[in-house]
Structure 1
Amino acid sequence: MEEGKEGGTWLGISTRGKLAALTNYLQPRQDPDARGRGELVAHFLTTDIDSLSYLKKVSTEGHLYNGFNLIAADLSTEKGDVMCYYGNQGDPEPIVLEPGTYGLSNALLETPWRKLCFGKRLFLDAVERNQALPKDVLIAQLLDVLNNEEAQLPDPAIENQGREYVQPILSKYAAVCVRCPDYGTRTNTVILVDADGHVTFTERSMLDKDPSRWETSTHEFKLQS
């Protein structure tokens, strides 16, 4: 529904262990002149600044963008992982996330939209069920989670935040995977990082805006110390 700005992305990980992911914040009115949010991910991946310092810098410029959530992380087998979060529609300061399982949709982190709670349950079930199975089985199961189209209704939290903007497609928007004629999920990404720093990046992408045609690619590499 919105043209991407050149040079940006919504998710990425580098061989240096820098990881970032961004979601838009559901809001009825968008500023067409706001800066492109995708640059927030690209800049972090290509800079040397640590995740918390980067998000503190971003927080001082958050008003220049339409609503967004940004996860930034420094992954290291030697120093341990640091993962941070900032949303420009929430608290003014970024936070460091404690170890655990988090859900993020198009509201602030851990906002209990029904589809978010449902998706987290599916995710945890898949991880627990596949602990003793090959990695490709886990990836397939997680892609199934991301493609679940069961509407989780009623959900007044989505309706209150989106108001008239989301009402026409609420029955589709209230699912983990959104499938509408001109709007919806076009990419699924699963990133696995093991204790030795081995990264498996699997992405399933729609071809030519056709929901019946997809391709899946996988990239593997070792984090640099």
Structure 2
Amino acid sequence: MCIIFFLFDPHSVSAYRFILAANRDEYYSRPSKPADFWGNNSEILSGHLVTNFLTEDVDGLTYLKKVSSEGHLYNGFNLITADFNNTKGDTMCYYGSKSGQEPKTLEPGIYGLSNSLLETPWKKLVLGKKLFTDTIKQSKELSPENLMQELITVLNNDEFQMPATDIEEQGQDFVRPFLKELSALFVRTSSYGTRTNTVILVDAKGHVNFTERTMLCPDANQWKVSSFQFELEI
């Protein structure tokens, strides 16, 4: 039951135009690779997902419209795209296949997304968005390294947010045995939980700090941290 928080501030001059903090929740037994550079010229940094958008020369809204026309072929999903461009301006777009709506361009702001549609106010999402917002308010006073660490602390908040009626109604029999654990931002059960924390910072000049903290399965007490810094071609 993954969760994502992000700031989209395309007009930022002195701070960050984009900040993302995300948890990926998964069964511990499922094979997975840490994020790394790959592609023909090793120009793509990712966990090997949404490859078509990353490799095609198309803007985010056009790509999402194409995906939406095929959405009925897949299980429910959410997809967010971002285009950073110093000439045309930054844009972010969102499509939720279960929303019944067309893909849309996002206004600047702070957003949260969990295992429902964008901004669905689950208790854990509301808490996480508040903690995320409070942290990025300090971003001008913090170094990138300290800001990343503070955001990872947010992602690892393990306070249960009960009652979790929205989660229970969505998952029904699947989630009831560990509903309490799923109500926290950081999920930990015997076989399923948060396996990855990801923090991405993009400053006004297009410099990117990318940090991923990955659990070394199946040991929830051992983690690998991967950090990357690079400039966007914008």
What TM-score range do you get, normalising by the shorter chain? 0.7 to 0.9
Give unpaired runs (5+ residues) of structure 2.
Answer: 1-25
**Under a length normalisation based on structure 2, what TM-score does the superposition of the two structures give?**
0.79
Q: What displacement does 1:10 show?
A: 9.8
Match of 2:202 in 1: 193
Q: TM-score, normalised by structure 1?
A: 0.83
Q: CA RMSD in A?
A: 3.0
CA distance in 1, matches of 2:174, 2:44: 35
1:121 to 125, 130, 153: 130
Counterpart contact for 1:151–1:175, Cα < 8 Å = yes
Task: Kindly indicate whether the alpha-carbon contact (under 8 Å) linking 1:20 and 1:73 is maintained by their aligned counterparts in 2.
Answer: no
The percent of aligned pairs where both chains have the same amino acid is: 52
Describe the SS at the equivalent of 2:75.
Answer: coil
In the TM superposition, what is the alpha-carbon distance from 1:183 to its structure 2 partner? 0.5
- Residue type of the alignment partner of 1:66: N
- Structure with higher strand content: 2
Deviation for aligned residue 1:173: 0.4
2:81 counterpart residue number: 72
1:175 maps to which residue? 184
Alignment equivalent of 1:85, drawn from 82, 89, 94: 94
3-state DSSP class of the match of 1:58? helix
**Please, which moves more after superposition, 44-53 or 77-86?**
77-86
4+ residue segments displaced more than 6 Å: 2-6, 8-12, 17-21
Q: Secondary structure at the match of 2:124?
A: helix
Specify which structure has the bigger relative contact order, considering alpha-carbon pairs within 8 angstroms and separated by 6 or more residues. 2
Equivalent of 1:96 in 75, 80, 105: 105
Q: Deviations over 1:191-220 (max 9, x none)?
A: 000000001111000113211000111111
Matched-pair contact (CA < 8 Å) for 1:20–1:71: no
1:110 counterpart = 2:119: yes
C-alpha distance 20-105 of structure 1, shift in aligned 2 (>3 A): farther
Cα distance in structure 2, aligned partners of 1:80 and 1:64: 33
The one-character-per-residue Cα deviations of 1:43-96 (angstroms, maximum 9, x if unpaired) are 111111110000000001111111111101111233221100011111241111
- Are the equivalent residues in 2 in contact too, given 1:206–1:213 (CA < 8 A)? yes
What code does the residue aligned with 1:178 have?
V
Paired positions, count: 206
The SS at the match of 2:109 is: coil
Distance 1:143 1:5, change over 3 A: closer
Q: Are the structure 2 counterparts of residues 100 and 175 from structure 1 closer, same or farther at C-alpha, using a change threshold of 3 Å?
A: same
> Which of 162, 165, 168 does residue 171 from structure 2 map onto?
162
Equivalent-residue separation in structure 1 for 2:222 and 2:202 (angstroms): 28
How far the C-alpha of 1:129 sits from its partner, in A, is 2.8
| Matching residue within 133, 145, 156 for 2:154 | 145
Are the counterparts in 2 of residues 20 and 45 from structure 1 also a CA contact under 8 Å?
no
